[in-house]
Amino acid sequence: MGPRASASGFSISAPHFPPSLLSYIKIHDPCSVDASSSDPSVNPFLGKDILVLCGAEDKLVPWAASKEFVEKLEVGSAGTKEVIVEEGAGHECTAKMVQALGKFVWKHALSVSPKASI
């Protein structure tokens, strides 16, 4: 958040970032937990199904800004982590991403069998 605000000419302070927002982020930001831990009392991502969709050419939120966090993200044996970095795509939702999302939701949220496919 800091580099993006700075690049846009904003400081991370009021009025754009009120103290209440900064306090909330400090407490609830997923990056503030040890997402690589296999301890469920520390890592809220364990057992979750996570889909990451990113454009390889995204200049607004580059993959490099998330790559380390996503690669270290531990979901455990009961969770799923699927990462798609689409070549040629920027900061957009492409047809390929929509199709991947549909398959992911079907497989992990709508089907009776977690092995179902469309």
54 & 24 share domain: no
**72, 28: one domain:** no
Domain of residue 109: give its range.
Answer: 33-118
Q: How far apart are the first and last CA of the chain?
A: 37
List the alpha helices (DSSP H) in 43-94.
63-72
Same domain, 56 and 104: yes
- Per-residue pLDDT 10s for the chain (118 aa) are 777 777 788 888 888 888 998 888 888 887 778 999 999 988 999 999 999 999 999 998 899 989 999 999 999 999 999 999 999 999 999 999 999 999 999 999 898 765 555 5
Same domain, 2 and 41: no
Q: Is the peptide bond before 15 cis (omega within 30 degrees of 0)?
A: yes
Residue 70 to residues 14, 66, 74, Cα–Cα distance (Å)? 30, 6, 9
pLDDT at 25: 85
- Regarding pTM above 0.85, the answer is no
Structural domains of the chain, count: 2
Residue 46: DSSP 8-state: T
pLDDT given for residue 83 in this prediction: 98
Closest residue by Cα to residue 17 from 32, 30, 26, 69 = 26
Give me 64's structure tokens: 């490099």
Instruction: Give the residue ranges of DSSP H helices in the chain.
Output: 2-7, 19-28, 63-72, 95-105
Same domain assignment for residues 26 and 82: no
- 118 with 97, same domain: the answer is yes
pLDDT of residue 43: 92
Do 58 and 100 fall into the same domain?
yes
